[in-house]
Amino acid sequence: MASTTSAYPVLPLDLEREIFEFAAYSRPLSLPALMLVAWRVKGWLEPLQYRVLLFQSVFSPRTGQDGKRGYPFEDDEHFSRLKDTPVSLLRHSVRHLYLDSVPHEVQDLLMSSCESIENLWFYSATSGPSILRHIGPHSHLKRFHGYLSHLFGGAQQIDFTHPLFSRLTHLELHLDYSDDLDPSNYPVWIGLAGIPNLTHLSFGEGFLPVLPGVVERCTSLRVIVLLSMCTEPVVHPVARDVRFVQVERPKYTLDWHTGALGGVDYWARAEGMIVGRSAGASDDDCECSHRYFCAAGYDVLLQSRAFDLEHTLDFIGPVF
């Protein structure tokens, strides 16, 4: 009688799934190939294929980093494929969404279908208010990068009680110099202090005149980041605050994409500097450590849930 014993080890399904998911997270571009292994593997991994979606008209982060990291859907040339994707899959799978100057139909499809977005980068000078209707009271949004005045149709129309802000912890504030930074609109920005869970705030130099009033009132802030065009330290009262970090303005798309994939973005660098200061390290030392880990092929991941300014960080790596 022929033996029924397999020539290969048979793993428990939960362990097998964990292995495939680890492989997919480590090399997202391998997802399509991994899904061909078996139907059960396709069922496990297909949602991960949509976890990070990036749509931009002129730039692909595929050219950044080591050229190997990134998700299959990275720009609007893949939109036709998304039209055939079951809405149920988009609804629960998409966590990170980057929309920059893309057609309105792309925005409408994604914002209406993706109900689990936690991290949104959005730019459109003409259709901002239209996407607000897709952000309801059950929004999962924790990070927003973009122009609030474009979303609401002007600085004076910004409503900080909108569901957009209900769970928001990270806000990268882009500013329209012709409207947002008009001195008559300065009082509007004090409303940032009313965002209940805001812990991380970033901005450009134009926001500095308003900053003291916001910092004074927003007691939940733990990380304050100036995205600067220059390398010279800024002279400003808030610059003496231990939570204040000045970093060189990043390549926004690449930095966002890196963070969405679990790598070191400018938020993580700023957090590392603040924790380093509490341990007696200089900002230069923290920057050198950041460069060393990246050069060595490591991802220095700060675990946001464990982040505490009074304790040390856990470092995880390598992931390749």
Tell me the pLDDT tens digit for each residue of 201-212. 999 999 999 999
- pTM of the predicted structure, to 2 decimals: 0.79
Q: Is the pLDDT of residue 60 over 70?
A: no
Average pLDDT of 283-287? 62
Q: What was the pLDDT predicted at 77? A: 55
Q: Is the pLDDT of residue 4 over 70?
A: no
In the structure, what pLDDT confidence band is assigned to residue 244 with cuts at 50, 70 and 90?
very high
Which of residues 128 and 150 earns the better pLDDT score?
Answer: 150
CATH class of the domain whose range is 56-266: alpha beta
Q: Is the pLDDT of residue 316 over 60?
A: no
Q: How many CB atoms lie within 10 A of CB 209?
A: 13
- Report how far residue 83's alpha carbon sits from residue 86's, in angstroms, rounded to the nearest whole number: 8
Q: What was the pLDDT predicted at 116? A: 93
Report helix, strand or coil for 201.
strand
Q: What was the pLDDT predicted at 67? A: 38
List the beta bridge partners of residue 59.
none
Q: What was the pLDDT predicted at 109? A: 86
Domain extents in the chain: 11-49, 56-266
In the structure, what pLDDT confidence band is assigned to residue 318 with cuts at 50, 70 and 90?
very low
Long-range contacts of range 10-19, CB-CB < 8 Å, 24 or more positions apart?
A: 13/40, 17/44
User: Which amino acid makes up residue 52?
Assistant: V
Question: What is the signed CA dihedral for 150, 215, 250, 58, rounded to 10 degrees?
Answer: -10
Average confidence score pLDDT of the chain:
79
58-62, 119-123, 225-229, 315-319: least confidently modelled range: 315-319
What residues have CB less than 8 Å from 31, skipping those under 6 apart? 24, 45, 48, 49, 71, 72
Number of H helices, E strands in the chain: 13, 8
In the structure, what pLDDT confidence band is assigned to residue 224 with cuts at 50, 70 and 90?
very high
